[in-house]
Each structure stands twice: as structure tokens, then as C-alpha cells.
Amino acid sequence: MATPYLIRRERFIPAPAAAVFEVLATPALHSVIDGSGTVSGEQPNGPQRLSAGARFGMDMKIGAPYKILNTVVEFEEGKRIAWRHFSRHVWRYTLKEHDGGTLVAEEWDARAVFGKPILKLLGFTRKHPAAMERTLENLEKYVIDQHRP
């Protein structure tokens, strides 16, 4: 059964999974690839590179600026990384090498969030699909630019 609280978008990126994963595991690059316009800082608090259980803070802005603390809840080097913050929704990326590149899936999983209808009322379920597509497009551009001879 489809749910508005699990949104998934995919994009084929003509680059190795290791190169794509490196960007996702580097919090300082999240504002570079963000397609929502909400990640505002390039100097996150926490490790330079994420790993299982790592905690990192980001400067955000939705109307007013705020800070958010995330915890890496899924981590498989080169294949999967996911984090969540206090509200329990998860941002997840899975990577599968395929035909000379990588199929990258981004998911916003809010199925475990208490008070899910508020997310819908605030427009997150409506805005996230397009923002995720822009993020994946930005991710591709960044990775390709970094690996151009």
C-alpha cells in the first residue's frame, strides 16, 4: 500500500558508487547538493566523514534559521547511508553499481514519525519529491565535475 510518508526518487549517475558515496558521507557537501534550499551551512558540527552511529549538526533554514542534530542510523560503506534527527524521519540513500555507473535512490521515510499528519499539513509530503529530484541532479553534477579530467 502506498503511503505519503515514504517518498523515493532514483537517478542513474555515470560514476562509481564509491565517488557518489563519498559525497553523501561528507556533511560539509550536503549544502552543495541540497535541492530543497533548506541546508544552509557548509561547516557542520561533527566528523568530517560519516560512519555508523556518527552524530552531526547542520545549519538549516525553513523560514527562520535553526540547527538540527542528526545521527547516522544505517551505514554500509559504498552502498547505504541514512540519518535521522529527533522527529524520527529518516533520510536514506542506497547505491547500486550498474552499467558503468550507479543507480542512486534517495528516500524520505517518515513512517515512524509521531504526528505524521502535521508533516502533510506543513507541505513536506508535497514538496519533497521535487526537492529530492533536484538533490539527485545536484549530486550528479557535483560528482561528475569532481571526476572530470
With a cut of 90, say whether residue 34 has pLDDT above it.
yes
Q: Where are the domains of the chain?
A: 6-146
CATH number 3.30.530.20 is the correct assignment for the domain at 6-146: yes
With a cut of 80, say whether residue 104 has pLDDT above it.
yes
pLDDT digits (tens, 9 = 90+) for 117-133: 777 777 667 888 999 99
Extract the C-alpha cell encoding 107: 528516500
113 by Cβ neighbours in 10 Å (0-12 / 13-18 / 19+) ranks as: middle
DSSP letter at 45 equals B
pLDDT band at 42 (very low <50, low <70, confident <90, very high): low
